[in-house]
Amino acid sequence: MKVVSKTEKFEVIHEMKKTGYTVTILCDIAGVIRSGYYKWIKRHTTPSKKHSEDIEIKKKILKCYKKLRGIYGYRRIQVWLKATYNLHLNHKRIQRLMSELGIKAVIRKK
């Protein structure tokens, strides 16, 4: 038997709400708190500041990656962003964003 997470329950409540059921009834059936549902809605409808920044940084990373034909890895991209845009970013953040984009540096054969 599969355990259903709260996020999945909130998604079902959100879909069922469109059919005319009240949030109170749906939350009672799902076994979640109504305030938790509204917090989930607020969290997912408005993008956070960090999420917006990540989107802009991803565009800049892709620009660097395409310009240099994928030669640069996360360390050199970090230096490039600092030199070009004066962005001081942690290497772990750049690594995470690159993995989300699905890009890696091309490693030459020796």
Please name the residues in contact with 23: beta carbons below 8 A apart, sequence gap of 6 or more.
13, 17, 34, 37
Q: What is the mean pLDDT of residues 82-92?
A: 95
Give me the pLDDT at residue 73, please.
93
97-101-104 Cα angle (round to 5): 90
Give me the pLDDT at residue 79, please.
96
Give me the pLDDT at residue 13, please.
93
Asked if the model's pLDDT at residue 46 lies above 80, the reply is no
Taking the C-alpha atoms of residue 71 and residue 106, their distance in angstroms, rounded to an integer, is 5
Provide the mean pLDDT of the chain. Answer: 91
Residue 44's pLDDT band (boundaries 50, 70, 90)?
Answer: confident
Give me the pLDDT at residue 85, please.
94
